[in-house]
């Protein structure tokens, strides 16, 4: 092991004048590992009014959400560093946040016994899912249809995102559910609890498949690798343990933290595992070998959360020192193949053709170069974001065309009413003119008749002369 010193900028105040100074940070490095890993100085530091309990990146890596003991959720713009939204609504500390796979929704779980669903684009509260106890963990299913919450009442709950309806309650833990995670293929749901156990459920049926009791104390965090091959867990016993899903075997115990491990997260290529601990450090491990590669003295208090950005460029950490720190992360490690997850899910199948298909796909997946895979991932993310924006634009254009049609109908109705009014006005003017002509005619005739014969009078209606009775 050797120590590497990197620098970051910090603002200090001396005699009411502000100065930027370089602050050295010592990183412990293990040079015996082949893959190259570069972590540069801290690029962003964001703050809350209380401890930061949870963080999560959006699927496009443009936003980072942080939940805090100050009862708020903050959405930060990763590239500009600006605060986009401050989401208020919870009455107690926010313990967990998670983005939906399409990036439209943000879920936040709190000690106020609720899970709130927010619209990411507008920052508006869409729905509140009420629980009977404190909510300690939330996550979305890979297809975005389900939301899972881990509760203090020893249960794990499955909700429908579109309706907010409770679909299933998974009992089984003997204490608070502290962590939940979906496998990438959505076959498995893992839950970690204060009862020292990890339970693996069949996601679609809710059937309990495995009960893993390899930790000596509470399991505070669980996470599947991006290819679904590994399941990592962080515990109060100061260790991180790795379970190989395909072989159903416990593989590694990662020891090095001096206090409980609160958060674990895999890198997008599945090669690295980050762990945050109450010992104020973030450690980076090589998954395959289980060796410690880097130790970051990231914070002044316990590290409550760690997360990698989906594009693999950033590593974020949240802490009880009220801060969120963003590190520039770069690795040339190869991506892990996702085909093993497929072959594991097909073990119960009796079809030889299906199994041979999963085997034949593996060499092609492994033959992808390390430079092509990240580009392909970025391209897919950009394509998904473009399709989402296109759908939103189509909705706006449709609503605009409907509004224009309504305006045209209103204009036609107005023109019709105006024509009717002008027609009635013309009829009234013609009637008045005719009445005036009749009046003038009768007056003229009476005047002439009087001069001719004073003893006769003219009836204007019948135009007939009648003698006066007098």
Return averaged pLDDT per consecutive 10 residues of the chain, 470 residues in all: 51 55 52 58 83 95 95 93 93 95 95 94 93 92 92 88 91 80 90 87 86 87 92 92 85 92 94 93 92 88 94 92 89 56 34 32 37 51 76 85 88 88 88 81 71 58 55
Nearest residue to 113 (alpha-carbon basis) of 86, 98, 93: 93
Query: What is the longest distance spanned by two Cα atoms in the chain?
Result: 142
Pairwise CA distance, residues 340 & 318, whole Å: 32
Strand partners, 94: 110
For residue 330, the model assigns a pLDDT of: 80
Q: Give 285-288 contacts, CB < 8 A, sequence gap 24+.
A: 285/240, 285/254, 286/33, 286/35, 287/225, 287/230, 287/242, 287/336
Strand, helix or coil for residue 406: helix
CA distance 55 to 353: 43
Residue with tokens 């001096």: 258
Q: Are 90 and 108 in contact (CB under 8 A)?
A: yes
What are the structure tokens assigned to 51, written together?
């401890």
Backbone angles phi, psi at 158, to 5 degrees: -115, 125
**What span, in angstroms and rounded, lies between the C-alpha atoms of 403 and 297?**
57
The DSSP annotation for 340-401 comes to HHHHHHTTT---HHHHHHHHHHHHHHHTS-TTHHHHHHHHHHHHHHHHHHHHHHHHHHHHHH
Q: How far apart are the first and last CA of the chain?
A: 142
Read off the DSSP letter of residue 252. Answer: E
Q: What is the pLDDT of residue 67?
A: 95
417-429 CB burial, b ≥16 within 10 A, e <16: eeeeeeeeeeeee
**Helices (H) and strands (E) in the chain — how many of each?**
3, 32
Domains in the chain, CATH or no CATH each: 2-337 (2.130.10.10), 340-370 (no CATH)
Residues 214 and 217: their CA atoms lie apart, in Å, by 9
Per-residue model confidence (pLDDT) at position 248: 77
Return d(Cα 163, Cα 215) in angstroms, integer.
37
DSSP string, 303-350: EEEEEE-TTSSEEEEEETTSEEEEEEEEE-PPPPPTHHHHHHHTTT--
Torsion, Cα of 440, 445, 451, 452 (10° steps): 170
Strand, helix or coil for residue 81: coil
């Amino acid at each position: 092991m050797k120590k590497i010193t990197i620098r970051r900028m910090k603002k200090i105040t001396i005699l009411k004048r502000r100065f930027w100074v370089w602050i050295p940070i010592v990183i412990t490095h293990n040079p015996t590992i082949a893959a190259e890993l570069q972590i540069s100085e801290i690029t962003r530091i964001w703050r809350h009014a209380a401890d930061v309990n949870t963080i999560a990146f959006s699927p496009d890596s443009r936003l980072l959400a942080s939940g805090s003991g100050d009862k708020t959720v903050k959405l930060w713009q990763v590239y500009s560093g600006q605060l986009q939204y401050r989401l208020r609504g919870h009455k107690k500390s926010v313990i967990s946040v998670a983005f939906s796979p399409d990036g439209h929704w943000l879920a936040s779980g709190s000690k106020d016994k609720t899970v709130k669903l927010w619209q990411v684009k507008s920052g508006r509260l869409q729905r509140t899912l009420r629980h009977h106890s404190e909510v300690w963990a939330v996550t979305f299913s890979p297809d975005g249809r389900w939301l899972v919450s881990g509760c203090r009442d020893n249960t794990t709950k499955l909700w429908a995102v579109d309706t907010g309806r409770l679909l299933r309650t998974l009992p089984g833990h003997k204490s608070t559910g502290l962590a939940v995670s979906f496998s990438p293929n959505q076959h498995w749901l893992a839950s970690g609890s204060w009862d020292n156990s990890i339970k693996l459920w069949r996601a679609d049926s809710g059937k309990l498949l495995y009960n893993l009791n390899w930790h000596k104390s509470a399991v505070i965090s669980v996470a599947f690798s991006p290819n679904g091959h590994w399941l990592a867990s962080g515990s109060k016993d100061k260790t991180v343990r790795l379970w190989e899903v395909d072989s159903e075997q416990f593989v590694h115990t990662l020891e090095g933290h001096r206090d409980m491990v609160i958060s674990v997260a895999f890198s997008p290529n599945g090669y690295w595992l980050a762990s945050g601990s109450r010992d104020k450090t973030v450690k980076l491990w090589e998954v395959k070998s289980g060796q410690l590669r880097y130790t970051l003295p990231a914070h002044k208090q316990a590290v409550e959360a760690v997360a990698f950005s989906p594009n693999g460029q950033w590593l974020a950490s949240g802490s009880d020192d009220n801060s969120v720190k963003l590190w520039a992360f770069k690795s040339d490690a190869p991506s892990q193949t996702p085909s093993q997850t497929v072959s594991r899910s097909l073990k119960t199948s009796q079809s030889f053709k299906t199994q041979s298909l999963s085997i034949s796909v593996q060499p092609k997946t492994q033959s992808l170069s390390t430079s092509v895979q990240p580009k392909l991932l970025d391209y897919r993310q950009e394509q998904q974001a473009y399709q989402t924006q296109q759908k939103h634009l189509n909705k706006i254009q449709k609503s605009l065309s409907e509004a224009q049609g309504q305006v045209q109908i209103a204009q036609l109705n107005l023109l019709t009413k105006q024509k009717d009014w002008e027609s009635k006005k013309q009829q009234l003017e013609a009637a008045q003119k005719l009445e005036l002509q009749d009046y003038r005619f009768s007056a003229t005739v009476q005047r002439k008749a009087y001069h001719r014969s004073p003893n006769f009078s003219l009836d204007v209606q019948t135009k007939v002369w009648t003698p006066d009775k007098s």
